[in-house]
């Protein structure tokens, strides 16, 4: 949310509960999954109209800024661009 606000988006207060079912060993970073899911949800709820790639970049930037993880963009982009399959 910090990086959304820093880019001029008005992030209002909200309540959030995070659950998940990504299998252990699925090859997905859990922090990227949380960041991506939250970005998609906030975009939908608050009407930002961010592209999925913008959401991924914001998640990556959050990793770089707060825990200091200099990760790539792959996990974030996969999370943000995922679609439900049968």
Active-site residue flag, 75: yes
**Residue 60 token pair:** 């990556």
Residue 31 backbone phi and psi in degrees, to 5: -65, -40
Catalytic residue among 15, 21, 43, 75: 75
Residue 59, C-beta contacts closer than 8 angstroms, at least 6 positions apart: 32, 35, 36, 39, 76, 79, 80
Residues involved in catalysis = 75
């Amino acid at each position: 949310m910090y990086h959304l606000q820093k880019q001029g988006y008005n992030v209002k207060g909200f309540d959030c509960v995070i659950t998940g079912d990504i299998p252990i060993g699925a090859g997905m970073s859990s922090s990227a999954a949380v960041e991506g899911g939250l970005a998609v949800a906030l975009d939908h709820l608050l009407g930002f109209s961010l592209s999925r790639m913008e959401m991924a970049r914001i998640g990556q930037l959050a990793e770089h800024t707060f825990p200091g993880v200099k990760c790539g963009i792959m996990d974030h982009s996969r999370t943000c661009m995922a679609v439900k399959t049968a």
